[in-house]
Structure 1
């Protein structure tokens, strides 16, 4: 899982700064998973072409006479990095769910100076410093979507899909 990259918009002619920090936003593409029956792909051939152009992985599975496809964004080479960081208690994993920002940010604040002002992305506990929804607490809805996605991976891949 890569660190999230955000672009700070500046007036025309000014330097655009790139902010890179660990955020849950990086796993959102994982939520886009879909099991597709062959009849649907045959019925909509342009859809199949669009899938191949978009970078979505289309995995075929045959069990007996039945065949279906699973569409998702997570490439195998990124999976180990994704699972290691997501399940690391010093990064995203907590006893209450997955954090919205990596705990790594608590000791490694991201700072950028623009037009003489300093801006920070900090990690804050859920009950401190006012509205901290973007800086560390657990988002139940995102955790639910993550669990649903992992379940769809397991339903398609079976015991081959493991979260360590």
Structure 2
């Protein structure tokens, strides 16, 4: 549920008496709505006119939802006549990004945290039926037995959701181009377009596995065997999730299935030509030949 005062999405808890209350936890829950975004090229809309018309009719039947979504349709085309279908409108997108790119909230040195660091000093406390429930910022392992105790979505960096966020930002970039910029990191005074923001996040994810100026890899934290032993130091483990403040690997050490996405982000930004993407769409973005006039 969108909270206009905070500029963020929160879960809503409905109680047995029919009342409802917002659980004001700044978590990945509030970032995921921006991932519901895709662009439509002019040629795609021309191939399926009936489907596009049906989509518009559906939106017309739910005006209360359509009002909060990104404007779409013939009167709302972006760069290169692209359309967009997105859950968040431009104002909400900007307000969500302001929190997501704040290094005192979601933006960590090694990616987007699953819970805002705001809760380190401001834990969320909720009372129901005489019991207290509490959510703290926990950048490493969980302090509860939830999910078996070997998992934690209250602060660490998770590769799958970071990849979804990168994908969404690139889709918004294809629509807006350089017409939409945002301060990144928040408060830095440095403005970026959404391609540059996506790349900044990808670079921070890659930083987990790269040696720093002292020759140490964040992924191995204080494990000296993996940091210094020549028989181990160059063999990279794909941990399940990563410390929200320093990038140390946590959880299962063999979660290649989704943490291996970091290799795809490195490949993506190694091949992707942002200017070509704006001019010719997603397929043209990876064409390494000469540009056509």
TM-score of the pair, normalised by structure 1: 0.82
Moved more, 72-81 or 115-124: 72-81
1:14 to partner: Cα distance:
8.0
* 1:138-153 mapped onto 2 (5 Å cutoff): 138-153=157-172
Q: 1:24 to 1:40 in 2, by over 3 A?
A: farther
Partner of 2:33: 29
Q: 1:92 to 1:121 in 2, by over 3 A?
A: same
Partner of 1:125: 139
- State the superposition RMSD in angstroms: 2.4
How many residue pairs match? The answer is: 159
Partner of 2:55: 47
Which structure is higher in RCO with an 8 Å CA cutoff and minimum separation 6? 1
1:116 to partner: Cα distance:
2.4
Whichever of the two has the greater Rg, that structure is 2
Partner of 1:61: 78
Unaligned ranges ≥5, structure 2:
1-6, 144-148, 184-293
Task: State the SS of the aligned residue for 2:82.
Answer: strand
C-alpha contact (below 8 Å) 2:125/2:135 kept by paired residues: yes
1:143 to partner: Cα distance:
0.4
1:163 to partner: Cα distance:
3.4
1:31 to partner: Cα distance:
1.0
1:43 to partner: Cα distance:
2.1
* 1:1-164 mapped onto 2 (5 Å cutoff): 1-7=7-13, 9-10=14-15, 12-13=16-17, 17-36=21-40, 37-40=44-47, 42-44=49-51, 45-52=53-60, 53=62, 54-55=65-66, 56=69, 57-58=71-72, 59-61=76-78, 63=80, 67-127=81-141, 129=143, 130-164=149-183
Unaligned ranges ≥5, structure 1:
none
